[in-house]
Amino acid sequence: MSETDKKSERSAKGFARKPQMIAFGAASAIMMAMVLFYVFLYPGNIGVAQPIPFSHRVHAREKHISCFFCHTGAIDTARSGIPPLETCMLCHKHIAVEYPPIKDLRAHYYAGQPVVWGQNYWVPDFVYFDHSVHIQRAVDCRKCHGDVLNMDRILVNENVTMGFCSECHKQAEVTHDCFTCHR
């Protein structure tokens, strides 16, 4: 083998290794990005996955739909309630009908099958909670549920515990004896 042949053979090998180097580099960069994401950006309190990816940001913030339009119950009952498909169909009979999640939504509606939404907030049976008493005293949804207006998927406020409830009751000078919440 001549000197030049050896050289070209060596550089050919070097060239063959390059894609591996690039792949390795890319893999490390992706790993690094994932680590950074989990450490700094991933919200640990992300809510349950929903059968249809409903976004509060799109509806409540961008389209300015009031919370009460969908969560009617909050005004005068204990429960806020999740809207039935009829509410969605007031708009999605006509809006974005070709978008796959909306197709799915409409298929449920026309088949008479409700969409079963996962629930993130609940208190145990031995706790009495009522939305309307809070709403009528102008306690903002955000106090308990966080900034829902800017959420795509719900992020759960995990601080909704007994301490949290009674802390506000004390500050607002609302009765906070045990029987208020445990009846």
Subset of 47-66 contacting ligand HEC (CB under 6 A) = 47, 50, 52-56, 58-60, 63, 65
Least Å distance, CB 110 to ligand HEC, is: 14
Per CB under 6 A, which of residues 132..151 are in contact with ligand HEC?
133-135, 137, 139, 141, 143-145, 148-149
Three-state secondary-structure class, residue 174: coil
- Length of the chain in residues, anyone? 183
Our finding on whether 154 is near ligand HEC (CB under 6 A) is: yes
Q: Which is nearer to ligand HEC, 7 or 142 (CB)?
A: 142
Helix (H) or strand (E) run with residue 6 in it: helix 3-36
Three-state secondary-structure class, residue 81: coil
Whether 176 contacts 169, CB under 8 Å? yes
Least Å distance, CB 34 to ligand HEC, is: 24
Least Å distance, CB 159 to ligand HEC, is: 9
Q: How far is CA 16 from CA 10, 12, 20, 40, 136, in A?
A: 10, 6, 8, 37, 72
Per CB under 6 A, which of residues 56..115 are in contact with ligand HEC?
56, 58-60, 63, 65, 67, 69-71, 74, 79-83, 87-88, 90-92, 95-96, 99, 101-102, 105
Tokens 């996955």 belong to 49
